[in-house]
Amino acid sequence: MRVSPMKVRQVIDLIRGKDVLSSLAVLMHVHKGSSKLVSKVLSSAVSTAKQKGLNEEQLFISKIVADAGPMWKRYRAAGFGRATPILKRTTHLTIELDVITK
């Protein structure tokens, strides 16, 4: 994802360990730019679990991690004829779902 990992971690800390339906509801009401991207990845994980025969109500987020991906390196003009580097950070988001057992 083309978002800094620190910004994504602020959002995923809200939904870690919760069931899928409540975490999608939380992501819908969070006013962060990365919440839409996280909900998109979570919906993709849920649809993959549905294809494997699991029900959406019995799933919860067992593990969610935002690791740093490769950085895009750009340069910006600075004073005295210099150039300063800009690091455009990316994120690798990993979501693991598990079945709720009672």
Written out in words, the top-level CATH class of the domain with range 5-99 is alpha beta
CA-to-CA separations, 82 to 58, 73, 98, in angstroms, rounded:
57, 16, 52
pLDDT tens across the length of the chain (102 residues): 999 999 999 999 999 999 999 999 999 999 999 999 999 999 999 999 999 999 999 999 999 999 999 999 999 999 999 999 999 999 999 999 999 987
Provide the residue ranges of all domains of the chain, joining segments of one domain with +. Answer: 5-99
Work out the end-to-end distance of the chain between its first and last CA atoms, rounded to an integer number of angstroms.
35
* Single pTM value for the model: 0.89
Q: What is d(CA 57, CA 9) in angstroms, rounded to the nearest whole number?
A: 25
Q: pLDDT tens for residues 64-89? A: 999 999 999 999 999 999 999 999 99
